[in-house]
Amino acid sequence: MFPFRGRGQRLSIGEARTRTGGERPEAVLLDVREKPEWRTGHAPGAVHAPLTALAAGGVLPAAARGRQLVVICRSGHRSQRAVKLLAERGADAVDVKGGMSAWAAAGLPVIDEHGDGGSIA
């Protein structure tokens, strides 16, 4: 079982990677940045669902439905809003402190839309 301790929980980059990595991840890394940001660089294996689309009533991508969600954006602000919105819809979600900026700064992999080396602006 996924040990989320509450809706206000924020994960470190290391905790996020542990929970969403490996062959059988216990959660989905949900990137809520906009499409241009996603194309430039995102974490391998992440699922994309822009916050603007979610806020407009959009549904989660199939790969994220019914799963525990670790939500990430560039710095951690949009992911906090996304977690609140998703929790209101009944999702089990937490956000990542520092977002993709902290992910990249920690030396974790970032790929572009083609699967090549990406960057976080």
**CA atoms lying within 13 Å on the CB side of residue 95:** 26
13 contacts 98 by C-beta, under 8 angstroms:
yes
Predicted model pTM: 0.92
83-120 pLDDT tens trace:
999 999 999 999 999 999 999 999 999 999 999 999 99
3-61 pLDDT tens trace:
443 456 899 999 999 999 988 999 999 999 999 999 999 999 999 999 999 999 999 99
List, as one string, the DSSP characters of the chain. Answer: ------TT-EE-HHHHHHHH-SSS-SSEEEE-S-HHHHHH-B-TT-EE--HHHHHTTPPPPGGGTTS-EEEE-SSSHHHHHHHHHHHHTT--EEEETTHHHHHHHTT---B-TTSSB----
